[in-house]
Structure 1
Amino acid sequence: MNLNEYQQKANKTLAGNEHVLTNLTLGLASDSGLVVDRIKRYAFQGQDLEPDKLKDELGDVLWYLSQIALWADIPLDDVAKANLATLAKKYPEAKL
């Protein structure tokens, strides 16, 4: 599955109303915070990383990100390609 396919399938789970963009943005921030907290607890408090839980939280972040992009009519593949182009300029030694 590519990112655009994921984006379209994930959209079937979006319950929208007039505040959908606000909901998506707050959800992205909130779930990103959960990822940050898990890494913090691993790095500084000696807790297990628990990769399965981290994967679930990263999936939630991906869902919110994909739906914000879809709301703005931006294919997620385009986001990834643009980011790689930016990274290639920043890090030419990486030969992306």
Structure 2
Amino acid sequence: MSQVDFNRYLEFVDGVTSEPSKDHEAFVYRIQELEGEECDTQRLLTAAVGVCAEGGEFMEVVKKILFQGKPYNEDNIYHMKRELGDIMWYMAQACIALNVTFEELVEMNVAKLEARYPGGSFNVHSSEVRVEGDI
């Protein structure tokens, strides 16, 4: 088994990291560039961080139920619903930032999945082998 040189790895990671990701002035400049493009950076960042954080809290409850013996009961179902509500709040922030409605997002998602699964049913092949443009 080869030995990993973590210092060398850290140097590599630093080299492949964008300037806005590691330099305050470059980060501020990038935000100013995006504001010039009418990007609602504050809401997008709030939404992205919040969806991930609240998704982690939701996953924590699911993990404990599935793997650590936490009961699947009314209290924990309520807890999961509360976390999903928090996720919806952050989704609303993203919708405001992107000037899109929840309905439009659902329509876009349905269109994407109908194109991926033309028969209307899941299959592993279509799940794994994507056509060009399927993101």
Aligned to 2:77: 51
Of 112, 122, 125, the match for 1:86: 112
Q: Which amino acid in structure 2 is aligned with residue 61 of structure 1?
A: I
- Quick one: distance in 2 between partners of 1:43 and 1:65? 26
Give the alignment's TM-score, normalised by structure 1: 0.70
Q: Which amino acid in structure 2 is aligned with residue 31 of structure 1?
A: E
Over 3 Å counting, the alpha-carbon distance change for 1:46 and 1:92 in structure 2 is: farther
- Which whole-Å deviations, capped at 9, do the CAs of 1:19-74 have from their partners, x for residues lacking one? 33322221111001011111111111111231111111011111101211221101
- Quick one: distance in 2 between partners of 1:62 and 1:69? 10
Over 3 Å counting, the alpha-carbon distance change for 1:20 and 1:82 in structure 2 is: closer
- Quick one: distance in 1 between partners of 2:89 and 2:57? 14
- Does the 8 Å contact 1:31/1:57 carry over to 2? yes
Give the alignment's TM-score, normalised by structure 2: 0.52
Aligned to 1:70: 96
Instruction: Structure 2 unaligned segments of length 5 or more: list them.
Output: 1-40, 122-135
2:57 equivalent to 1:31: no
The structure with more radius of gyration: 2
- Quick one: distance in 2 between partners of 1:20 and 1:66? 10
- Quick one: distance in 2 between partners of 1:28 and 1:63? 9
Instruction: Structure 1 unaligned segments of length 5 or more: list them.
Output: 1-17
- Quick one: distance in 1 between partners of 2:96 and 2:117? 28
- Does the 8 Å contact 1:28/1:65 carry over to 2? yes
Indicate the percent of aligned positions where both proteins have the same amino acid. 26
Q: Which amino acid in structure 2 is aligned with residue 53 of structure 1?
A: H
